[in-house]
Amino acid sequence: MKLDELCKKAILLKQSIDATKKELDSVNLEIESGFPEQNIKEGAMHVSGDLYKVTLTKKLNRSIDIEAYQSLDLPENAQFVDFKPSINLKRMRAVEQLEPSIVEACVTVKPAKSTIKIEEVKKNGN
């Protein structure tokens, strides 16, 4: 297939997926409204029909204001935030330029999933 044909097919499939996700979200909301305890904010609930058992798990996303947390100066036994190391890509690349063996000694690299972005080309006059 030519590139344009593949791109058009990808766009149509994406639109179909988006429509399906929207419809699924709507059905899931209807299923959720059938649960007796709507005021539970977090946890799992179960309900059974004649053919299906449904588990609804509610979760809360939490974020933290690191500066406010650190300003509390909590004793170690009261601290509840884990500080996880992460790679500063800009600094790592600088070190890699100067001394690649340092990065090679401690960083594992695996390819991530590729992404493809398709945009329609606007022709003059259209």
| pLDDT single digits (tens) 18-58 | 999 999 999 999 998 888 776 778 888 888 888 999 999 98
Quote the CA–CA distance of 38 and 80 in Å, as a whole number: 29
Region 111-125 average pLDDT: 82
pLDDT at 110: 92
Average confidence score pLDDT of the chain = 91
pLDDT at 95: 97
* Model confidence, pTM: 0.63
Which tokens go with 26? 């709507």
Quote the CA–CA distance of 17 and 113 in Å, as a whole number: 19
Name the percent of the chain lying above pLDDT 70: 98
On the question of pLDDT at 126 being above 60, the answer is no
Q: Tell me the pLDDT band of 94, cut-offs 50, 70 and 90.
A: very high
Quote the CA–CA distance of 100 and 48 in Å, as a whole number: 58
Using DSSP's 3-state secondary structure scheme, residue 11 falls into: helix
Out of 40-44, 57-61, 95-99, which region has the weakest mean confidence (pLDDT)? 40-44
Q: Can you tell me which residue has the tokens 């053919």?
A: 51
Q: Can you tell me which residue has the tokens 């690191």?
A: 66
Q: Tell me the pLDDT band of 125, cut-offs 50, 70 and 90.
A: low
